[in-house]
Amino acid sequence: MISYAYMVNSNGANQYMRCDNSSKFRKGLVPSLLRSMVHCGLFSKVEAAQIAVTPYLSSSDASQLRMILNMEKPASSDFLEHFIVKAVGLCQAKLRYGFARTGLTGFDVIAVSLVEETLKSISGATRQYNW
């Protein structure tokens, strides 16, 4: 999900910021996310976090999937679905993924609000600081 958060933030930066600021933002985002992954105890070293994140980022082709999140059906023909399928493949699970799409524990509760709040924050900061 760290890779997905990176894609959401990158998409927001591309939408709202001037090109040079978006590029700087994205270049600073990856090291920050990797350090956070170590700080939270997901990995012991930044290098290990980078190794774990790289397959997700390098496998995503923005030209094929332009939708970060399908707001009506999260994880349907969007980047979220791409990352879920990639995670299942990397962990070599025998069964396809399964999850509750809606309801109290559904992806829509978290994913939709995550994307909306992230884009709203990036848009607001861009306007406030004229990025």
Residues 20, 77 contacting (CB under 8 angstroms): no
Most confident of 54-63, 65-74, 114-123: 114-123
- Provide the mean pLDDT of the chain: 81
Stated pTM of the model:
0.73
| Percent of the chain with pLDDT strictly greater than 70 | 79
d(CA 25, CA 28): 5
Instruction: Calculate the alpha carbon distances from 118 to 42, 46, 83, 96, 98 in Å.
Output: 22, 24, 18, 29, 26
For residue range 65-96, what is the model confidence (pLDDT) as tens digits? 568 888 888 888 888 887 777 777 777 766 65
Contact partners, residue 6, CB within 8 Å, separation at least 6: 29, 30, 33, 53, 57
- For the chain, domain boundaries: 2-129
d(CA 83, CA 79): 6
Segment 37-58, tens digit of pLDDT = 899 888 899 999 888 887 766 6
Mean pLDDT of 28-39: 89
Amino acid present at 74: P
